[in-house]
A and B are shown apart, each in its own frame.
Chain A
Amino acid sequence: MDAALKRRLEARFGEGLQGPVRQRHDETEIRIAPAQVPDVLRTLHDDPDFHFQLLADLAGVDTGTAMQVVYHLWSTTTSDWLRVIADGLPREDPRVPSITFLWRGAEWMEREAYDMFGIIFEGNRDLRRIYMPADYTSFPLRKDFYLPDDAARSPGGGVRHMEQPQAPLAPGKTLVRRTRA
């Protein structure tokens, strides 16, 4: 734990933070509002006191009641990973400013978070699905997307849709699957 980093973060951002700076093992964690993301990350990136020049990870999280976007940053000025949590995105319309203006490499990570959680990154010029097909409509990593499985406590327990037998068709009827939308 890097206590000096905690003091510097508190001095620089003060009451802009939501909740205290938390530290555990080699991680320091701050929580901010989604609208603050560009300003806070730009300060962390440019300020010589922080100089977090590497974006180690960008992850979406669905807590069940709200969405989060979690950034992990690395710097030579500290021995800790810095975790910045943009907390409290509404689940119906999660929006957060993009950080591709700082790290262009965040573009695909934001695409992934959009694909899996439906989080809209405003300012990302290529926000389309990356893993799922273009005509897919759900967001698979949301907590209300149940995995159809007979695993012990899965809400979709007992459903093995892949293995259900196919009902025979009525005579004279055929299924037509279109390959072009």
Chain B
Amino acid sequence: MTTHASMDDPRVTLDEQLGSFEPIPPYPPRTEREHEFYTVADGEMLVNIGPHHPSTHGVLRVVMKLDGERVVDIDPVLGYLHRGVEKLCENADFHHTISYMDPLEYVSSLFCEWPAVMAYEKLLDIKVPRRAEYIRVLTGELNRISSHLLAMGFHALDLGGITPILYSFIERDEMVEMLASITGQRMLFNYFRIGGVNGDLNHEFMSRLGDWMGRATAQVEANQGLLNENEVFVRRNRGVGTIDSQTALKMCWTGPNLRATGVPFDIRRAHPYSVYPELDFDIPTRSEGDSLARYLLRIDEIKQSLRIIDQCLHQMPDGPVMAQVPRLMRPRPGRAFATVEGPRGQYSIYAVSDGTDQPFRFRIHDPSFLHLQSFTLLMPGQLLADWMTINASLDPIMGGIDK
């Protein structure tokens, strides 16, 4: 056997070249399912994709069992981005955990902070000022639009179209700059606080937003014209990765992916929070349940988010943006569960307090984790190249999945 010195530590020698893929794991199968997956029949083969593949939306590795070009079975392997955020949060104080939440779903950070602060507000019985709630909804919907635009762009990029992502980034950049003017950050905002938000809206934000709102609808429609009537795009998406509503509910799907199967489940209406009961918007649904429906549903949601932003600007009351909150928090022992409707679905936090200034248990629930799980249902029978379509249409973010 040949050995070579490690490039990290010269004292270590390695007995084989790293980075190669061994199709069969070097340990005996741990479960019935693993045994079934790694038993390769005649004519089948295992193919590894990732973890560093551009279409994996992060560092996801999947092993596929192929028969020719048809997928027989698929086994996603997670953990390449696992940081142990739950453990870190259980060792940090309540204010500190909010900044750990941002990098989870890094394209929609505000929706990670939101359930955490909501859970703490429940534990502490804090009433959030109405202006702060409106600001949360306003910034949250902006973040939802920017996330959906990115999903649209990357969906096209994964299918080989470069242009839509550039157009998406024009709009996203404007929104990110807007949010940066009030939060100070372009991506990981760390803006929500227990009892309110970090700062009030300022002139730069309002002028940029007013400027953008005037052309937003036209821009979004121009962008979707690139794809909606593109024959290659439509034919690669229609009928691919179809799931029916009952199966989607059994697989614990939420968000746009569930609504694309025809279930009008949106936590903003199903279990209202913040000031959503005062706002007027529709819940778009589609009945097809395929990749194209999931893509088109996101465009419909962008239009509803624009409506919500418009109403927020008109209805926003004056007043403080932070409640009176102590710096050192010791909530009474108790449990709280808070949920928001993020761009990918139900994002929720289960926080347990034991009376100290650190959460005793901090459970993060990420919707993409459950959508990714359904590959085993969606992929069999599809072509290998359809995996990119299905993955992009489910819009997973590995930062949230791997925690």
- Residues of A at the B interface (CB closer than 8 Å) are 24-27, 29, 53-57, 59, 61-62, 70, 72, 74, 76, 79, 81, 83, 102-109, 112, 116, 125-135, 140-141, 145, 147, 149, 151, 154, 166, 169, 174-181
Contacts and interface: CB of A to CB of B under 8 A. Distances in A.
A134 B91 contact: no
B79 A177 contact: no
Contacts of A151: 91-92
Contact of B365 (A25, A57, A154, A177): A57
Interface-centre pick from A61, A103, A140, A179 (highest chain B CB count, 10 A): A179
Interface stretch (B50-58, B134-142, B330-338): B330-338
Contacts of B44: none
A105 B339 contact: no
A102 B246 CA distance: 12
B377 to A, nearest CB: 8
A71 to B, nearest CB: 10
Nearest to B29: A128
A176 to B, nearest CB: 6
A105 B25 contact: no
B84 to A, nearest CB: 6
A56 B13 contact: no
15 contacts: A24-B122, A25-B336, A54-B265, A61-B363, A72-B350, A74-B270, A109-B370, A125-B33, A130-B78, A131-B403, A133-B79, A145-B87, A166-B9, A174-B13, A177-B12
A128 B36 CA distance: 14
Given A104-B250, A147-B87, A72 B12 contact: no
B335 A83 contact: yes
Contacts, number: 140
A108 B78 CA distance: 11
B350 A57 contact: yes
A175 B13 contact: yes
Contact of B337 (A27, A76, A107, A169): A27
B78 to A, nearest CB: 6
B31 interface: yes
Contact of A149 (B33, B91, B373): B91
Interface stretch (B14-22, B173-181, B308-316): B14-22
Contact of B27 (A103, A130, A181): A181
A128 B11 contact: no
A177 B15 CA distance: 7
A100 to B, nearest CB: 10
Contact of A147 (B91, B374, B402, B403): B91
A3 B266 CA distance: 24
Looking at A59, A79, A132, A151, the one whose CB has the most chain B CB atoms below 10 A away is A59
Contacts of A178: 15
B15 A179 contact: yes
B31 A53 contact: no
A138 to B, nearest CB: 11
A174 B167 CA distance: 55
Interface string B338-363: 01000000101010100000000101
A174 B12 contact: yes
Nearest to B5: A174
A140 B365 contact: no
Interface string B284-303: 00000000000000000000
B251 interface: yes
Contacts of B252: 54-56, 103, 105-106, 109
Nearest to A108: B373
B255 to A, nearest CB: 12
B337 A131 contact: no
Nearest to B83: A131
Q: What 8 A-B pairs have minimum CB-CB distances, sorted nearest first?
A: A105-B252, A126-B33, A105-B251, A59-B363, A131-B79, A131-B82, A128-B30, A108-B373
